[in-house]
Structure 1
Amino acid sequence: METIDNASHSAHEAVDKIANAANQAAEAIGEKEAQLKNVEQQLMENCRGYVRDNPVTSLGIAIAGGFLLSRLLSGCPSDRK
């Protein structure tokens, strides 16, 4: 009976350690999530400020990016014969 009690106690300790590690990992992920949200908000504010300060350049970048993206997604028309 003592062997079963020892095995049960060891199993409980292992489960407690795993639960503790999972809890710490969840807390760390939550902290990283908050940090990433803050970085995202800062980047969006920076982008808005750049577009506000440089509307013509921003429009040019958007047009060039759209053109390149359409070429990448559709393939080069000159290759299709």
Structure 2
Amino acid sequence: MKNVDTVVDTVSDFAQETVDKATNATYHVANKIVDKGDELNALAHEAIDKATNATNQVADKIGEKGVQLKHAEQRLTKECSIYIRDNPLTSVGIAMGVGFILSKLLSNR
């Protein structure tokens, strides 16, 4: 009986070692997966941050250009008003000429 008990103890010890090794290997693989997941998460956040920054920069530039266009429009309107006030007859002549040309161009269609 002693030999059977010894064999059972040996097999039991071997089984326990095998389970321990498998458990350790599983934890090792799981930790690597978690590390890779963390790396992918960090990369994703970095990509999102870069895209957000680029979008904000573009939006800022568009806003600046919009303000510049608004100022240019206001300046042009003011300059035209001043020219018309200073040169009323020339302005009327230009308006009549442009109207005549437009009527000829549009009447052929």
Q: Normalization by structure 1: what TM-score? A: 0.87
After superposing on structure 2, the runs of 4+ consecutive aligned residues of structure 1 that deviate more than 2 Å are: none
**Structure 2 residue aligned with 1:79:** none
Deviations 1:25-74 (A, max 9, x none): 11111111111111111100100001001101100100110111122222
For structure 1, the residue ranges without an aligned partner over 5 or more in a row are: 77-81
Match of 1:14 among 47, 63, 76: 47
Whether 2:100 is the aligned partner of 1:74: answer no
Paired with 1:22 and 1:74, the residues of 2 have a C-alpha distance of 47
User: Within 5 Å, which residues of 2 pair with 1:15-30?
Assistant: 15-30=48-63
Identity in percent: 53
Equivalent pairs, count: 76
| Alpha-carbon RMSD | 1.2
Paired with 1:63 and 1:37, the residues of 2 have a C-alpha distance of 28
Match of 1:39 among 65, 69, 72: 72
Paired with 1:48 and 1:2, the residues of 2 have a C-alpha distance of 69
